[in-house]
Structures are given as C-alpha cells and as structure tokens.
Amino acid sequence: MAKRRATAVERRRRRSDSRGAGAVSGGWLLALWLVAQAPQDLRELAEAGLKARQAGDLAGAIRAFEQFVAAAPDVAAGHVHLGAALLEAGVYEKAVHCFERALSLDPGLITAHRFLGTLRLNRGEAAAAVPHLEKAKSWDLLGVALLESGRLAEAIPALETALAERPDDPDLLYYLGRAHSDLSRQLLDRLLELHPDSARAHQLLGEAHLAAGNRELAEKELRSALALRSQLPGVRLALGDLYAAAGDYERAEAEYRAEAEARPADAQAAYKRGAILLNLGRIEESVAELERAERLRPDMPETLFELARALTAARRLEAAAQRLRRVLELEDRSRLAESSAFQLAQILRRLGQHEEADKQLERYRRIRALRKQQ
C-alpha cells in the first residue's frame, strides 16, 4: 500500500507541477515587474533563466535565477522561478527554501503555495502541506494530504471535487474509496467498542461475516440482531441476500417480503423481492413488485434492468425495450450497460427491428471492448 501511495502521489505531484511549471516557465510571474521597473541586467538574467529552463538546461537556469535573486532579493517571483528550476533538478531542500522565501514576500502567491504544498506532501509532511494546498485549491493533492493527516471527513469533499473534474481518474477513485472505507471503519470500530451487545453491533458483525462468505456465523449474528430489535432496518435484507446466495430463493423471498412489508417505501426491498420472484418463476408478481420499486425510486439502473427481464418473460417486449433504453441513457460503460445493450438487441430482433438490433449489438461490442481496456 505504501508503494501504491507513493506512486499515486507522485503522479498527482507531476500533474500539479506541470500546471505550476507551465505558468512559471512562461515567465508571467516576472513579466509585470520586468516591464515596470527591471534594470537591463536583471531583465537579461530573467530572460536567460527562462530560456535555459525551456531548453532543458536546468544548471543554466539555476545559475541565472540565483544571480537574479541575489541582485533582487525582494522580488518574490524570482524565488519561485529559482525554486521551480531546483525542484525540476531534484534539489528539494533548496527548492523548499525558495518557495518559503517567496511566500514571506508575497503570502498570496498561489504558485508558490502549490509547489510548497506538493513538496511537503511528497516528503511525508501531509499536515504541513494542507494549508498551502488549500490556498492553491489543489483539490486532488489536498484530499490526499487530509487523508494522510487523518482528517477523513474533510478529505472526502476535496477528493469528490477533484473527481468531478476527472471522473475516471484511477488515483482519485482509489483515494476517495480509501477515505470512505477508513472513515467507515473508524465509526464501526467505535460502535463495537461502545455498544458491543447492541442490535446494530450484531448486524454489523453479521454483514461482515456475510461479505467474508461465512454464512453460518452471518445468520447467527443477524438472528441475534432481530432478537433484540425485530424491526431493525436492513437485517432482513441481509438475511435475504444470504439465502439468495445459497440458492434458497423461497427463504430469500420471505425475508425480502418481511422487509418490504415493514418498510413499504423502501425501494431496495421492493427491488430485491421483485428480482427473487423472477428467479422463482412468479413473473406477474415480479413485474408488479419491480414496477413498485421503479415508482419508489425512478431511474435506478438495477431496477430497470431486472424489470426489463421480468417484462420480457411476461412477453411485454416494448415495455422491456423502453426500460433497457433508459438504462443505457444512465450507464455508458458499466457491466450493466453491456448486458442491457445485448438484451436490447435480442428484444429488438424479436420485434422485427433488425437494423436497430444490429446497432445495439454493435453498441454491446463497443462497451465490452471498452470494459476490457479498463
């Protein structure tokens, strides 16, 4: 995990560096100062440093900017340029000093905050990186820094903001998933520590055993939870999942039905019961229950897909095709989208719409190919 963290943070750093470095190498930090007041010799030093860095001559860039800051020590932008060149050359301690000096001269210099926050995070100083990354609004790195600092509840919104900009980024997906997982683990550990004999503790242990595949212990804990609180939400759903996984659809349906009766507005209970009714061959009941789930929570892709299956079994092909089209509007490259495109192609062929069926079959192949690349 440590190796993955370092690799992922390094990728985040490179992206952040490239944003900052691009601005620095363009010379915008020095431009106004140079135009307004720079003597000719300083102007020449700045231009030499910028050209050297653009040409990949880091040693030359460092020399030029060192001379610049020696001649103009109170110009914050000069320290940022020197720090950027040192950072690119791997001279991290001196780069840190340059960015700190720049911020002492101009506390609002965003590029310096971004560079310094990134450097501190990479050095393992996550807590010290946070204020700089906050000022720079580097949401991805800020989320990682907050996560590494143990500030999980704050890390989640920062990572979600970054993920909204890059929804398929594997590192962001990893860190956000880890933040949610770590926060959940903290809360659940507290539950077990403070209330070990509570119904919720038994429910938690039962669900954990179920996830681990230990059905016997899972059933025991879930039944203990119900003995303490007979109407505890979610327990009968977990029992239904347990029996469904074992192929005992009758007992699964009974548990889902009990949950649906106790919580008639619960779309998840209606969905699970409708799906298991279809497995039992009780088609009309399945359609009715899945339509109820659809009304309770419109546009839930899983419900739409199962309802399409039930409607197909009931020979209501147009209605089934309508639901599958809606799934494909909501999902574009998931496993559910892949299955929906394939099922829709089959239904359209049965309806005699062969050209449209071919398009959906091609869509299925395209989604399948994309999923294999992931």
b (16+ CB within 10 A) / e for 87-117: bbeebeeebbebbebbbebbeebebbbbbbb
Q: Are 327 and 305 in contact (CB under 8 A)?
A: yes
Task: Kindly state the greatest CA–CA separation across the chain.
Answer: 88
Among 91-105, 165-179, 200-214, 289-303, name the most confident range. Answer: 289-303
CA distance 340 to 321: 9
b (16+ CB within 10 A) / e for 41-76: ebeebbebbbebbeeebbebbbbbbbbbbeebeebb
Domain residue ranges in the chain: 2-161
pLDDT confidence of residue 65: 86
pLDDT confidence of residue 38: 57
DSSP 166: S
pLDDT tens readout for residues 313-367: 999 999 999 999 999 999 988 999 999 999 999 999 999 999 999 999 999 999 9
CA distance 60 to 245: 67
Residue 298 pLDDT exceeds 60: yes
Residue 31 pLDDT exceeds 50: no
CA distance 193 to 34: 63
39 SS3 class: coil
pLDDT confidence of residue 26: 40
Q: Nearest Cα to 128, choosing from 100, 101, 102?
A: 100
Q: Is 7 or 185 the better-scoring residue by pLDDT? A: 185
pLDDT tens readout for residues 136-185: 999 999 999 999 999 999 999 999 999 999 988 999 999 999 999 899 88
pLDDT tens readout for residues 233-291: 999 999 999 999 999 999 999 999 999 999 999 999 999 999 999 999 999 999 999 99
Phi, psi of 301 (to 5 degrees): -55, -40
Tokens of 145: 């820094």
Q: Is 351 or 28 the better-scoring residue by pLDDT? A: 351
Nearest-10 crossing angle of helices 170-194, 139-148: 30
> How many of the other CB atoms lie within 10 Å of CB of 294?
21
Q: Are 110 and 94 in contact (CB under 8 A)?
A: no
pLDDT confidence of residue 295: 97
Q: How many helices (H) and strands (E) does the chain have?
A: 21, 0
Residue 49 pLDDT exceeds 60: yes
Burial bucket for residue 315 (CB in 10 Å: 0-12, 13-18, 19+): exposed
Tokens of 126: 């996550």
Q: Could you confirm whether domain 2-161 is CATH 1.25.40.10? A: yes
The CA distances from residue 130 to 23, 121, 125, 282, in Å, are 22, 8, 9, 57
Cα dihedral 312/270/277/315 (nearest 10): -20
Residue type for position 311: L
Q: Are 267 and 297 in contact (CB under 8 A)?
A: yes
- HSE-CB at 108 with a 13 A cutoff on CA atoms is 0
What average pLDDT does the segment 100-111 reach? 91
CA distance 234 to 222: 10
Residues 6+ apart with CB under 8 A from 96: 83, 116, 119, 120
Residue 2 pLDDT exceeds 70: no
Binning pLDDT at 50, 70 and 90, where does residue 37 land? Answer: low
Q: What is the DSSP string of 41-110?
A: HHHHHHHHHHHHHHTT-HHHHHHHHHHHHHH-TT-HHHHHHHHHHHHHTT-HHHHHHHHHHHHHH-TT-H
Q: Are 303 and 279 in contact (CB under 8 A)?
A: no
What average pLDDT does the segment 203-226 reach? 93
Q: Nearest Cα to 108, choosing from 132, 79, 139, 81?
A: 132
